[in-house]
Structures are given as structure tokens and as C-alpha cells.
Amino acid sequence: MLNEFSLISRYFSRPSQQPGGALLGVGDDCALLAPRAGKVLAVSTDMLVEGRHFFAGSDARALGHKTLAVNLSDLAAMGASPRAFTLALALPAIDEAWLEAFSAGLFALAGPAGCELIGGDTTRGPLTLCVTVFGDVDAQRALRRDAAQAGDDVWVSGTLGDARLALGALRDEWTLSAGELAETRRALDWPEPQLALGMALAGVAHAALDISDGLAGDLGHILTQSNVSARIDVDALPRSAILARQTPRIQRQCTIAGGDDYQLCFTAPGHARDAVLSAGIQAGTSVSRIGTITAFDAHGDTPRITWTDAGGQPLALALRGFDHFDD
Ligand code: ADP
Ligand code: MG
């Protein structure tokens, strides 16, 4: 039977394949990681809890991928390049087949991303998966949430809403064909962090974040932290062909108040449009312009986000991002 230490050495210690990796990895009291010359460390933590962020019995390989992917997505949203991560695991029992699949999903993403596992913690408890990532970024070029300016364009990468569309079908909120469910579940279970795009946008975009809780709520974070407002064209929100076949209400719910998209939402000055499009091409990701940052009127009663149709007419939408304390 595996104990805690044989479990760590069997599933979670792999020799570094990175030139310039950590000075010391798994096995000591701390790992040792040197920041690269001229860069600062970008650090972020994200936790996935069974029953809250994923269904009990979820595919272990997909969980390994997603646990790291949601963290790499935070590095992408900062324009940072991945260096290393730690992994804190609470496991209800030692299940070798589960650990084998989970670590395979984790390392299949970590390797190509250049992100090395350098430590963690392992304990018995309700299934909880927590990663802390470390990346390198140029402090002056980091894509912060407080840097949007009135007049900026608002952009998003990829398409929005497929993960929410799959989740709604799994929860019986609506129905999808088996083929549609299989396809949209890929967005839910295997999100692709937009690392190449984030790095290409550093120094080009003003503000950015990754959309994890829905565009309305997440764009709202940029707007409050930058103290600006936005007009967003709902008809310009990029959707997959499957989502575009659903009713207008489902399309809006999934694109605006969805969740688990892990696309980037960012703002950039109008003169940077060509540079943004080039960044998208360089990263192999589509980028769509969805609206404009406007000045915030502290005395008026206009909301932070004005949703419009393609003709610029305001729409009355009462949709908010997903809030974990707002069931
Ligand atoms: P400590 O008692 O100092 O916290 P542990 O006994 O928890 O150390 O862990 C021993 C070593 O194994 C440490 O280097 C720690 O970072 C690493 N480690 C523990 N759990 C994991 C894990 N799930 N993945 C990777 N490394 C781990
Ligand atoms: Mg420990």
C-alpha cells in the first residue's frame, strides 16, 4: 500500500525537463526558484472542490488537466510566462488508477507549457485540488485589471459560452444532442489556457483578465478597478456554431453570465488594433472586438456595463456573473 511519501515520489516527482528550471524541486522543505533577470514573479492560486467546481466521479485525467489549466489561465491573463507550480491535494483515499490518470492529465499540460511541479502538500480529506503557479513577467508590461482607459476597445479571445452550454445540459436546464454535448463538454472539461496570446498582448493591451465566472462579472472587475464603464455589443460576442443554434435567451445567458470559459477579455487603444490582430494570429487564436471603454459617470445612475444590440441600441439585461456565494 502506498503511503504519503511513496505516493508523492511515484506520481508527483518528475525530474525537471526545463533548462533554467527550479534550483531545487520536490523533496525538500522548500523549492528554490530564481526569478529571471529583469522579471518579476507572477503568482496565483486556484482551488477546485468536488461538488462545487466539478461533479463527483469526474474523469481524473480531465481533472488533472483542468486543475493546472485554470491556474495557467491566470498567468496568461497577466501576460506572464509559466515557470513552476505547487500542488496541494486532499484525497479521500489512495486510488492508484485515479492518481495515475490525474497525474497524466496534469503533466501532459505542464510539460508543453514549460511549467515544472516543484512541491506541494498531500493530505486525506474531501477531494480538493489546489495549484499555485509561478510565472515570469516584465513588471511594466504585466496586464493588470486597473489599466483600462476610456476610449479603449474591448476584446475577447476564442468563443464564449460553450462550457456553460454543456453544464446547463448536464443539469437538465436545456437539451443538446449527444454530439453537441460531447463537443461542448470539451470546453468545460479541457479548457485551453491562452498563454501564447497573453504573452503576445503584454505591452500591447492595457488591461486583461481571464473569464472564469462569466463576461458580465469578470469585465466588471476591470471596470471597477480601472474606474471606467463599457458599452458592449451583445451581437458581437463570439459564439460557436452549436451555441449560435440555441434560443437567443440561452445564447445570452451562456455568453454573458456563463462561466468556465478561460478566454481572455482585454482592452487596448484604438491605434493597437493591428497589433492585437497580429497577436491573435501569432497565438493561433481568434480575437473579437466587442465594445468600447467609456468614462464612468460617478453622479449618474448608468450601470458599469451598457449592453447594446449591433445597432448600438441599449438592451435591458439582468444577468450577472456567477458568484459562489450567491446560490
Ligand atoms: P513538509 O512536512 O515539509 O510540509 P511534506 O512531507 O508535506 O513536507 O512533503 C514532502 C515533499 O513533497 C515536499 O518537498 C513537498 O513540497 C512535496 N510534496 C508533497 N505533496 C506533493 C504533491 N501533491 N505534489 C508535489 N509535491 C508534493
Ligand atoms: Mg507538507
Give the closest residue (by CA) to ligand 1 atom 9: 121
Q: What is the pLDDT of residue 191?
A: 97
303 lines ligand 1 (CB under 6 A): no
84 lines ligand 1 (CB under 6 A): no
Task: For ligand 1, pick from 10, 32, 86, 121 the residue to mutate: most ligand atoms within 8 Å of CB.
Answer: 121
How many angstroms is it from 89 CA to the middle of ligand 2? 10
Give the closest residue (by CA) to ligand 1 atom 3: 29
Task: For ligand 1, pick from 122, 127, 131 the residue to mutate: most ligand atoms within 8 Å of CB.
Answer: 122
DSSP for residue 160: -
Give the closest residue (by CA) to ligand 1 atom 8: 29
Instruction: Give whole-number Cα distances, 201 to 218, 224, 290, in Å.
Output: 18, 22, 17
Q: What is the pLDDT of residue 20?
A: 73
- Least Cα distance to 241 among 195, 302, 180, 156 occurs for 180
Phi, psi of 94 (to 5 degrees): -90, 110
How many angstroms is it from 324 CA to the middle of ligand 1? 29
Residue 84 has pLDDT above 70, yes or no: yes
With a CB cutoff of 8 Å and minimum separation 6, the contacts of 49 are 126, 127, 128, 129
Are β-strands 128-137 and 40-49 bridged in parallel, bridged antiparallel, or unpaired? Answer: antiparallel
How many angstroms is it from 122 CA to the middle of ligand 2? 7
Beta bridge partners of 82: 135
10 lines ligand 1 (CB under 6 A): no
pLDDT average, residue stretch 5-23:
83
Q: What is the pLDDT of residues 210-244, one digit of tens each?
A: 999 999 999 999 999 999 999 999 999 999 999 99
Among the bound ligands, name the one nearest to the CA of residue 130.
1
Please identify which residue in the block is written with the cell numbers 511515484. 10
Please identify which residue in the block is written with the cell numbers 504519503. 4
Task: For ligand 1, pick from 4, 5, 8, 102 the residue to mutate: most ligand atoms within 8 Å of CB.
Answer: 8
How many angstroms is it from 83 CA to the middle of ligand 1? 18
Report the distance separating Cα 224 and Cα 148, nearest Å: 10
Residue 53 has pLDDT above 70, yes or no: yes
Please identify which residue in the block is written with the cell numbers 510566462. 81
- Least Cα distance to 258 among 313, 201, 219 occurs for 219
Closest ligand 1 atom to residue 88 Cα is 23
217 lines ligand 1 (CB under 6 A): no
Give the closest residue (by CA) to ligand 1 atom 13: 27
Q: Provide the mean pLDDT of the chain.
A: 93
Q: What is the pLDDT of residues 102-134, one digit of tens each?
A: 999 999 999 999 999 999 999 999 999 999 999
